[in-house]
Amino acid sequence: MRHIISVLLENEAGALSRVAGLFSARGYNIETLTVAPTEDVSLSRLTIVTSGTDAVIEQITKQLNKLIDVIKVVDLSEAAHIERELMLLKVRATGKDREELKRLADIFRGHIIDVTESTYVIELTASGAKLDSFIKTIDAGLILETVRTGVSGIGRGERILKV
Protein backbone atom coordinates (compact mmCIF):
# COMPACT_ATOMS: atom_id res chain seq x y z
CA MET A 1 0.00 0.00 0.00
CA ARG A 2 1.08 3.56 -0.66
CA HIS A 3 2.22 5.54 2.39
CA ILE A 4 3.35 9.12 2.88
CA ILE A 5 5.97 9.39 5.58
CA SER A 6 7.01 12.73 7.03
CA VAL A 7 10.35 13.11 8.76
CA LEU A 8 11.88 15.92 10.77
CA LEU A 9 15.63 15.73 10.68
CA GLU A 10 18.67 17.75 11.61
CA ASN A 11 19.55 20.06 8.72
CA GLU A 12 23.11 18.80 8.55
CA ALA A 13 25.45 17.80 5.76
CA GLY A 14 24.89 14.18 4.87
CA ALA A 15 21.59 13.79 6.73
CA LEU A 16 19.63 13.31 3.51
CA SER A 17 22.04 10.67 2.25
CA ARG A 18 21.56 8.72 5.48
CA VAL A 19 17.84 8.54 4.71
CA ALA A 20 18.31 7.75 1.02
CA GLY A 21 21.03 5.20 1.86
CA LEU A 22 18.77 3.47 4.37
CA PHE A 23 16.11 2.92 1.72
CA SER A 24 18.52 1.48 -0.83
CA ALA A 25 20.46 -0.62 1.72
CA ARG A 26 17.33 -2.29 3.06
CA GLY A 27 15.59 -2.59 -0.28
CA TYR A 28 12.73 -0.24 0.52
CA ASN A 29 10.98 1.47 -2.29
CA ILE A 30 10.99 5.27 -2.74
CA GLU A 31 8.44 6.75 -5.13
CA THR A 32 9.22 10.36 -4.33
CA LEU A 33 11.33 12.18 -1.79
CA THR A 34 11.23 15.90 -1.10
CA VAL A 35 13.23 17.88 1.41
CA ALA A 36 13.70 21.50 2.45
CA PRO A 37 14.50 23.44 5.62
CA THR A 38 11.61 24.45 7.90
CA GLU A 39 10.95 27.82 9.59
CA ASP A 40 13.68 26.72 12.00
CA VAL A 41 16.67 26.41 9.66
CA SER A 42 18.34 23.82 11.88
CA LEU A 43 15.55 21.43 10.86
CA SER A 44 14.66 19.84 7.56
CA ARG A 45 11.27 18.42 6.70
CA LEU A 46 11.25 15.43 4.44
CA THR A 47 8.32 13.74 2.76
CA ILE A 48 8.77 10.24 1.40
CA VAL A 49 6.20 8.38 -0.64
CA THR A 50 6.77 4.67 -0.38
CA SER A 51 4.83 1.45 -0.60
CA GLY A 52 4.93 -1.88 1.18
CA THR A 53 3.08 -4.23 3.47
CA ASP A 54 2.24 -3.09 7.00
CA ALA A 55 5.28 -4.96 8.31
CA VAL A 56 7.57 -3.21 5.83
CA ILE A 57 6.12 0.21 6.64
CA GLU A 58 6.57 -0.50 10.36
CA GLN A 59 10.21 -1.39 9.73
CA ILE A 60 10.70 1.74 7.60
CA THR A 61 9.46 4.01 10.38
CA LYS A 62 11.51 2.16 12.99
CA GLN A 63 14.66 2.24 10.88
CA LEU A 64 14.16 5.94 10.15
CA ASN A 65 13.75 6.64 13.85
CA LYS A 66 16.98 4.79 14.49
CA LEU A 67 18.99 7.25 12.40
CA ILE A 68 20.73 9.61 14.77
CA ASP A 69 19.86 12.71 12.71
CA VAL A 70 16.16 11.89 12.61
CA ILE A 71 14.07 13.68 15.22
CA LYS A 72 10.53 12.60 14.40
CA VAL A 73 8.78 10.30 11.97
CA VAL A 74 5.09 10.15 11.19
CA ASP A 75 3.06 8.13 8.70
CA LEU A 76 0.79 10.86 7.35
CA SER A 77 -1.39 8.42 5.47
CA GLU A 78 -2.50 6.86 8.77
CA ALA A 79 -4.97 9.72 9.27
CA ALA A 80 -6.49 12.77 7.59
CA HIS A 81 -3.88 14.64 5.61
CA ILE A 82 -3.28 16.73 2.54
CA GLU A 83 -0.77 15.96 -0.16
CA ARG A 84 0.38 18.26 -2.91
CA GLU A 85 2.90 18.09 -5.67
CA LEU A 86 4.06 20.77 -8.05
CA MET A 87 4.56 19.99 -11.73
CA LEU A 88 6.00 22.11 -14.53
CA LEU A 89 5.07 20.81 -17.92
CA LYS A 90 6.55 22.19 -21.13
CA VAL A 91 4.34 21.42 -24.11
CA ARG A 92 4.41 22.03 -27.84
CA ALA A 93 1.68 24.63 -28.36
CA THR A 94 0.98 25.45 -31.97
CA GLY A 95 -2.11 25.81 -34.13
CA LYS A 96 -5.32 24.42 -32.67
CA ASP A 97 -3.41 22.74 -29.77
CA ARG A 98 -2.81 26.17 -28.20
CA GLU A 99 -6.47 26.61 -27.44
CA GLU A 100 -6.99 23.00 -26.35
CA LEU A 101 -4.00 23.05 -23.96
CA LYS A 102 -5.18 26.30 -22.41
CA ARG A 103 -8.62 24.80 -21.86
CA LEU A 104 -7.21 21.62 -20.26
CA ALA A 105 -4.91 23.67 -18.00
CA ASP A 106 -7.96 25.66 -16.84
CA ILE A 107 -9.99 22.53 -16.15
CA PHE A 108 -7.18 21.18 -13.96
CA ARG A 109 -6.71 24.61 -12.35
CA GLY A 110 -3.23 24.97 -13.77
CA HIS A 111 -1.53 28.14 -14.90
CA ILE A 112 0.40 28.85 -18.03
CA ILE A 113 3.49 30.62 -16.75
CA ASP A 114 5.62 30.81 -19.86
CA VAL A 115 4.43 31.43 -23.39
CA THR A 116 6.37 31.46 -26.66
CA GLU A 117 5.15 31.16 -30.24
CA SER A 118 5.52 27.40 -30.10
CA THR A 119 5.52 26.36 -26.41
CA TYR A 120 3.74 26.73 -23.10
CA VAL A 121 4.95 25.95 -19.62
CA ILE A 122 2.02 24.81 -17.51
CA GLU A 123 2.27 24.94 -13.74
CA LEU A 124 0.01 22.57 -11.86
CA THR A 125 -0.23 21.87 -8.12
CA ALA A 126 -2.31 18.92 -7.02
CA SER A 127 -2.12 15.45 -5.55
CA GLY A 128 0.21 13.05 -7.31
CA ALA A 129 -2.73 11.14 -8.76
CA LYS A 130 -4.21 14.28 -10.28
CA LEU A 131 -0.90 15.20 -11.90
CA ASP A 132 -0.80 11.72 -13.39
CA SER A 133 -4.23 12.14 -14.90
CA PHE A 134 -3.33 15.55 -16.32
CA ILE A 135 -0.35 13.98 -18.09
CA LYS A 136 -2.60 11.23 -19.41
CA THR A 137 -5.08 13.78 -20.71
CA ILE A 138 -2.54 15.54 -22.87
CA ASP A 139 -1.42 14.09 -26.17
CA ALA A 140 1.93 12.48 -25.29
CA GLY A 141 3.45 13.78 -28.52
CA LEU A 142 3.02 17.36 -27.28
CA ILE A 143 4.91 16.94 -24.01
CA LEU A 144 8.44 18.32 -24.26
CA GLU A 145 9.53 18.18 -20.60
CA THR A 146 8.02 17.06 -17.32
CA VAL A 147 9.39 18.32 -14.00
CA ARG A 148 7.76 17.13 -10.78
CA THR A 149 8.83 18.00 -7.24
CA GLY A 150 7.55 14.89 -5.56
CA VAL A 151 4.88 14.87 -2.90
CA SER A 152 4.78 17.19 0.10
CA GLY A 153 2.30 16.37 2.80
CA ILE A 154 0.85 17.72 6.01
CA GLY A 155 -1.65 16.44 8.56
CA ARG A 156 -5.08 18.04 8.76
CA GLY A 157 -6.22 20.18 11.68
CA GLU A 158 -4.48 19.71 15.03
CA ARG A 159 -2.29 16.91 13.75
CA ILE A 160 1.09 18.66 13.99
CA LEU A 161 4.62 17.38 13.45
CA LYS A 162 6.96 19.59 15.44
CA VAL A 163 9.98 19.23 17.72
Partner 1 sequence: MTMMTGAEIVIRCLQEEKVEYIFGYPGGAVLHLYDALFKQDQIKHVLVRHEQAAVHAADGLARSTNRVGVALVTSGPGATNAVTGIATAYMDSIPLVIISGQVPTEYIGQDAFQECDTVGITRPCVKHNFLVSDVRDLAVTLKKAFYIANSGRPGPVVVDIPKDITAAKCKFEYPETIQMRSYNPVVKGHLGQIKKAVHLLLEAKRPMLYTGGGVILSNGSEQLTRLARRLGFPITNTLMGLGSYPATDRQFLGMPGMHGTVEANLAMQHCDVLLAIGARFDDRVIGNPTNFTSIPRKIIHIDIDPSSISKRVKVDVPIVGNVPDVLEEMLKLLDASDAKPDAEVLADWWKQIEEWRAKQCMKYRMKKNIIMPQYVIEKLYEVTAGQAIVTSDVGQHQMWAAQYYKFEQPRRWLNSGGLGTMGVGLPYAMGAALANPTMQIACVTGEGSIQMCIQELSTAKQFRLPIKIINLNNRYLGMVRQWQEMFYGSRYAESYMDSLPDFVKLAEAYGHVGIRVERPEDVEAALHKAFVEHKDDLVFIDFITDQKANVFPMVAAGKGLADMILAEDL
The contact set with partner 1 (CB under 8 A) reads 9-10, 13-14, 17-18, 21, 25, 55, 58-59, 62-63, 65-66, 68-71, 163
Q: How far is CA 113 from CA 36, 91, 120, 123, 124, in A?
A: 24, 12, 7, 7, 10
Which residue, 18 or 81, has its beta carbon nearer to partner 1?
18
Give least dist CB 132 to partner 1, A.
Answer: 33
Give least dist CB 69 to partner 1, A.
Answer: 6
Question: Looking at this protein, which amino acid is placed at residue 157?
Answer: G
The set of residues, in sequence order, having a beta carbon less than 8 Å from that of 108 and lying 6+ positions away, is 124, 126, 130, 134, 137
Give least dist CB 18 to partner 1, A.
Answer: 6
Which residue, 8 or 87, has its beta carbon nearer to partner 1?
8
Question: Are 88 and 147 spatial neighbours (Cβ–Cβ below 8 Å)?
Answer: yes
Which residue, 10 or 31, has its beta carbon nearer to partner 1?
10
Give least dist CB 76 to partner 1, A.
Answer: 20
Q: How many whole angstroms from its chain centre is CA 48?
A: 8
Give least dist CB 8 to partner 1, A.
Answer: 9
Beta bridge partner(s), residue 76: none
Tally of CA atoms within 13 A in the half-sphere of 155 that contains its CB: 15
Which residue, 10 or 132, has its beta carbon nearer to partner 1?
10
Q: Output phi, psi for 110, to 5 deg.
A: -95, 170
Q: Output phi, psi for 34, to 5 deg.
A: -125, 150
Which residue, 17 or 116, has its beta carbon nearer to partner 1?
17
